[in-house]
Amino acid sequence: MGSGRRGGAALTAKSLGRVRPRSFYERPVLEVARDLLGAVVVHTVPGDGAVAVRLTEVEAYAGGHDPASHAFRGQTPRNAVMFGPAGHAYVYFTYGMHYCMNLVAGSDGHASAVLLRAGEVVAGVELARERRTGAVDRDLARGPARLTTALGIGREHDGLDVTSARSPLQVRRGSPFDDALVRWGPRVGVSTARDVPWRAWVNGEATVSPYRPHVPKKRRQG
DNA sequence: CGGCTGATTGCCT
DNA sequence: GGCAATCAGCCGA
């Protein structure tokens, strides 16, 4: 372990499809979210290898008018990438230990984005296992923070353009899922717009995250 | 299996 | 100072 390249032979651009162009992201965020199911996120680390994840679960955030969005209270240094052009990665740190990755969608300045919640590792499984020690294969990228860990994504990737064929972080066409397999549900922990289903996942996929609605943490007594 | 909770840092008010 | 777009581990049934 720790020496030599991994995942190179199994990872061909052809099998994963073309890199999605910026125009793919410059659409309403719900359309982008739906079409990201089946798409493949590829992160390559020179000398280490590449890991590719085929998305099975995503969540849409609609920018300044969305109470659950990081953009709701306006632009800050942390969320600045969301207010920029589509097709860039917005990576944030949360719970003092986890990273989550979004893809900026919509028109410039709208600050909408799609959270990548879960997927299946389709290349670089060995490297993903190293990054996710102890996890069974099905759980390697099953959950937003698990997904970034498996891919090796951190704060340094915030703002990266994922539409370039030369980028170490790309999103490729992959193999889209049929509409009949796509399910929509209400988002977690949002009081407004509860009737709008902004979480999309693929029915029957084992890699869809198992987590339930988040309940506010109770303050410790004494 | 489902439910609950501690971990641990940075961001926003 | 409160809490977060989470996760893993522990507990009881």
Q: Span A85-114, mean pLDDT?
A: 97
Q: What is the pLDDT of residues A173-190, one digit of tens each?
A: 999 999 999 999 988 666
Structure-token pair, residue A160: 């990266």
> Which bases along strand C come within 7 Å of a protein CB atom?
2-9
Q: How long is the CA A214 to C1' B13 vector, in angstroms?
A: 22
pLDDT at residue A1, rounded to an integer: 43
Dihedral (C-alpha) A155, A151, A115, A208: value to the nearest 10 degrees?
-150
pLDDT at residue A222, rounded to an integer: 38
Predicted confidence (pLDDT) at residue A211 exceeds the cutoff of 70 = no
Whole-angstrom distance, CA of residue A99 vs CA of residue A92: 6
Three-class DSSP category at A157: helix
pTM of the model: 0.92
Q: What is the pLDDT of residues A146-155, one digit of tens each?
A: 999 999 999 9
Whole-angstrom distance, CA of residue A195 vs CA of residue A134: 38
Nearest to A114 by CA among A36, A185, A174: A36
Whole-angstrom distance, CA of residue A197 vs CA of residue A179: 15
pLDDT at residue A210, rounded to an integer: 80
Q: How long is the CA A59 to C1' C12 vector, in angstroms?
A: 33
Predicted confidence (pLDDT) at residue A194 exceeds the cutoff of 80 = no
Average pLDDT score over chain A: 90
In degrees, rounded to 5, the angle at the alpha carbon of residue A213 between the alpha carbons of residues A104 and A89 is: 15
- Which range is least confidently modeled, A36-40, A99-103, A196-200? A196-200
Q: How long is the CA A154 to C1' B9 vector, in angstroms?
A: 14
Q: What is the pLDDT of residues A7-24, one digit of tens each?
A: 444 556 668 999 999 999
Neighbours of A34 (CB within 10 A): 19
Structure-token pair, residue A94: 């949360």
